[in-house]
Each structure stands twice: as C-alpha cells, then as structure tokens.
DNA sequence: AGATTAACGCAAGGATTTTGCGTTAAGATT
DNA sequence: AATCTTAACGCAAAATCCTTGCGTTAATCT
C-alpha cells in the first residue's frame, strides 16, 4: 500500500504523489532523513501539510512508501548463460545495493513505516521475482535448479539478516559463498 | 545503548527508567503501540515529558529500548543431551517467540528506533550467545559441530527474514527443517 | 562531609499534527 | 459531451506535541 487507501490513479492525485516523492528524495539528499518533517516536505512539494497527513498518515509511512519504490528492481537479472553465474552475479549486485548506506536506509525505512507489513512483503516479492526469473531461465536451458524458497532462505535471507542486524560482515565474496553453498547442497549425496 | 548516552546507573535515574519502561508495557497492552505518545507515557510513569525527550529522544527510540530488553533471552537453551535436539528445540522456541504478534512487534520496534544499529546488533548478539552455548556444549560432548555463523546464516537468518518480510510462512516445522538442513550439510560428501 | 555535575521538574515558546469546511477535479453515468 | 458524484485537496483554527532555558535534586567522587 503506497498511500493509505485506494487512491485515484490519475490527474491531480498522481501529480501530488509525484511531487511529494520528488521532494522527499531531494530533501533526503540535501540534509539526510533524520531531520525531515512533513511541513518541510509539503512546502518543497508545493502542497499543504494536511494533504500529506491525510494521504500517508505520518513521515514514516511516507518514507516507507518512497523506500519501496526505490527498492524496486529496474531490470531483469543479467543473463550469463548458466545458472551459477546468473545467481552469483545477481547476489553480488544485490548485496552491494542493499549494504550501501542508501540501500540500508531504504530497507530500514521500508520496514519502519509499515504497520501492516505490506511494504515488507513487497520487498521480498521483488527479490522472489528476480530469483524466479533466473531459475526459470535455467530450467528452460535444462539445468537442474533449486527451489525459489531454497534460494530465498539460504542466499537472500542471510544477506538481509546481516544488512539489518550485523553490518560490517558484508562483502561480495560472502554473496558468492552463499550461492556456492546452495550448489553444494544441490549435489546428490552418495 | 539504552538511553541516549551513559546514564548514571543507580538511584533516581534507575527508578525513572524502570517506571518509564513499565508505563510503556502497560500502555502497549492497553491500547497498542500505534497511538502511544510521549506525554501519555510520561504521565503514566509519573515523570515529565522533557525527561523522556532528553533521555530517549523520541517515542521510537524509547520503544526500541524497551523492545530490546524484552527480546533478551531469559534462560540458556535447554539441554536435551545432544546437538540435534538442542538446536531443534531452541529453533522452535525461537520461531514461536519471534513470529508471535508481540514478538514481531518488538523486532520491528527494535529496528525502527535504532539510528546507529546498536540495538539491532544487540538482538543478533543475543541469538549468537544462545547458539554458541548450544554448540559449545555439544563440542564438550565430543560431537561434530557446525560454525556459529553457519547456524546464524542458515537457521536464524531464514527465520528472521520470514518474520520481517514474509509472515504467514512460519511454523515450528519450518524451524525443524532448517536445522535438519544444517545437519545434512554437515555430513561428509563422497 | 563536602564538592561536583548528571539528571530531573517546571514552564514558556515554537513547531507539528489534527480537524472542520468549502472547493476542485477525477471518474462514472447518461 | 454534459452532468453527477465524491475522492482528494487547500485553508485555517485548534489541539497536541516537542524543544529549550533555568533552577533544583540527588548520584557519584574526593
């Protein structure tokens, strides 16, 4: 749920949403998100504060809304011709994006202003979508592929756990090692 | 960091912290955490709002402080005599606590009002402490044990990911399956 | 016991949030 | 295309919350 409830999709409402989002991004870049206030965002966006309060409720829900939009993947995962490289490169890109200061900030904002968990669900839906694209492509090639949930549990989840709870233990090699472990697990036992 | 900076540990400061924490828990139980305000908490605790503002900054940091305290394990993991059962039972307890409505609420609060990530770090430190206790006990018995990080990455992280991002996919059997997978991985390959 | 100073209470001033009401314009109907 | 309905907006007043200066209390140190 971007805005508080179903919003008229076009015209003035769309313009307001766009200018408010743009104002948030501008002000975040200028002064960080700690000191953002609704009246300030409203002034920059050219709307009245009450418009923001009625539509988003408070600053956090607005920031959560903006964060989810910025976390949406912009392109399908790159195709390297085989599952292993596809997964490894996607995981490395993912960890680099999510562990960067803005990435971590967006994740925390997305979770913080999300009373019903729908924004968090959208974040995982983005990751699932990307993983499934990689797995489906590999399956079409005839490769043996793990379940989506296996990749989510053992590649995505460990990375996100460290982003949220253990920053400082994150580097591209960690992402590669997690992918390697999934392939190791994929091999048949004696 | 519970309070904003080093706080005098005893006497009046300790009483204020205790009564404020108690007030938060009471009001949370009575009316949920969405409508909590600092003046309301202050009134219930018998202190002035400025005391709370100066010590915790805002409602979120206070809630984060309270949440971390409630997430602290109360006892060391139960001893069933072998690693497998110790881990399985601990993981089941963990998932039940973390996926319950209050558990999820505390985790989200702990993350939300935590500008520098220290409260989040404390949460993972609690889990690490419990896991290490289980592993050390098994090692003393002479059992073959996985690394702490392996358990954190492939048991704790997937559970926490689902708690935060995919509620509805959580049950005790999932916790057991994650532990099973770690043991499967522990077996030597041909 | 006395000195030092962190933490608290009070109260004023400033900023933010809420709310009622009139107006605008998006989407539906004919 | 003109009209109707009502969601969304702007404005402004009122309520609430947050900040801050200053005097007081009491925890800690010597």
Phi, psi (deg, nearest 5) at residue A133: -65, -40
- The per-residue pLDDT for range A145-186, each reduced to its tens digit, is 999 999 999 999 999 999 999 989 899 999 999 999 999 877
Tell me how far apart the alpha carbons of residues A46 and B142 are, in angstroms, rounded to a whole number: 69
Residues A172 and A134 in one domain: yes
* Closest residue to B165, CB basis, from A121, A158, A166: A121
A38 and A110 housed in the same domain = no
Distance CA B153, CA B155 (A): 6
In a domain, A111, yes or no: yes
For residues B137 and B178, membership in a common domain is answered with: yes
Spatial distance between the Cα atoms of B159 and B87, rounded to a whole number of angstroms:
14
Query: Is B32 in the same domain as B126?
Result: no
For residue range A120-150, what is the model confidence (pLDDT) as tens digits? 999 999 999 999 999 999 999 999 999 999 9
Q: Say if B66 falls within a structural domain.
A: no
Cross-chain Cβ contact A153/B154 below 8 Å: yes
Q: Does one domain contain both A93 and A20? A: no
Q: pLDDT tens, position by position, for chain B (190 residues)?
A: 455 555 656 688 999 999 999 999 999 999 999 999 999 999 999 999 999 999 999 999 999 999 999 999 999 999 999 999 999 999 999 999 999 999 999 999 999 999 899 999 999 999 999 999 999 999 999 999 999 999 999 999 999 999 999 989 899 999 999 999 999 877 665 4
Instruction: Using a CB–CB cutoff of 8 Å, tell me whether A157 touches chain B.
Output: yes
Q: Which domain holds residue B133?
A: 72-186
Helix (H, G, I), strand (E, B) or coil at A128: helix
Residues of B in contact with A184 (CB under 8 A): 185
Say if residue A114 is in the same domain as residue A31.
Answer: no
Whether the CB of A6 is less than 7 Å away from nucleic strand C comes out as no
Whether residues B109 and B53 share a domain: the answer is no
Residues A21-41: what's their mean pLDDT? 96
Percent of chain B whose pLDDT exceeds 90:
87
Q: CB–CB of B153 and A178 under 8 A?
A: yes
Query: Which of B112, B158, B184 is facing A153, going by the closest CB pair?
Result: B158
Q: Tell which residue, B65, B109, B74, B79, has the closest CA to residue B94.
A: B74
Q: Does a structural domain hold residue A5?
A: no
**B163 and B114, same structural domain?**
yes
B172 in any annotated domain: yes
Same domain, A86 and A176: yes
Chain A touched by B124 (CB under 8 Å): yes
What's CA B159's distance to the chain center, in Å? 13
Residue B5 lies in a domain: no
Q: Whose CA is closest to A108, among B173, B70, B177, B114?
A: B114
pLDDT tens track for A33-67: 999 999 999 999 999 999 999 999 999 999 999 99
- A69-86 average pLDDT score: 97
Residues in Cβ contact with B86 at an 8 Å cutoff, skipping those fewer than 6 apart? B77, B78, B79, B80, B134, B137, B138
Q: State whether B86 and B176 are in the same domain.
A: yes
- How many structural domains comprise chain A? 2
* Pairwise CA distance, residues A97 & A72, whole Å: 11
B residues 74-93 near A, CB within 8 Å?
A: none
The pair of structure tokens assigned to B163 is: 């708690």
Task: Tell me the Cα Rg of chain A.
Answer: 19
Chain-chain contact of B157 with A158 (C-beta, under 8 angstroms)? yes
Nearest neighbour of A165 by CB, restricted to B121, B165, B189: B121
Domain containing residue A137: CATH number: 1.10.357.10
What is the CATH number for A23?
1.10.10.60
Which candidate, B114, B112, B115, B104, places its Cα nearest to that of B166?
Answer: B104
Say whether residue A166 is in contact with chain B using an 8 A CB cutoff: yes
B148 lies in some domain: yes
A32 is near strand C: CB distance < 7 Å: no
In the prediction, which pLDDT does B1 show?
Answer: 43
Residue B22: CA atoms inside 13 Å, Cβ hemisphere, count?
11
- The closest of B37, B33, B36, B1 to B17, measured between CA atoms, is B1
Do A177 and A90 reside in the same domain of the chain?
yes
Judged by a CB distance cut-off of 8 A, whether residue A168 touches chain B is no
Note whether A46 contacts B: Cβ–Cβ < 8 A.
no
């Amino acid at each position: 749920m971007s805005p508080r409830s179903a919003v008229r999709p076009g015209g003035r409402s769309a313009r307001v949403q766009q200018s408010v989002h743009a104002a948030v991004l501008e002000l975040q870049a200028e002064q960080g998100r700690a000191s953002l206030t609704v009246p300030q965002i409203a002034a920059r966006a050219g709307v009245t504060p009450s418009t923001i309060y009625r539509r988003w409720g408070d600053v956090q829900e607005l920031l959560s809304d903006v964060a989810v939009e910025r976390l949406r993947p912009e392109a399908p995962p790159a195709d390297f011709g085989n599952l292993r490289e596809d997964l490894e490169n996607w995981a490395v890109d993912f960890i680099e994006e999510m562990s960067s200061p803005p990435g971590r900030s967006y994740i925390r904002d997305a979770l913080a202003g999300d009373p019903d968990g729908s924004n968090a669900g959208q974040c995982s839906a983005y990751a699932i979508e990307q993983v499934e694209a990689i797995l489906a492509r590999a399956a079409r090639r005839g490769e043996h592929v793990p379940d989506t949930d296996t990749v989510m549990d053992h590649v995505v989840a460990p990375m996100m756990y460290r982003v949220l709870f253990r920053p400082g233990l994150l580097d591209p090699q960690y992402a590669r090692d997690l992918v390697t472990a999934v392939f190791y697990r994929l091999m048949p036992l004696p």
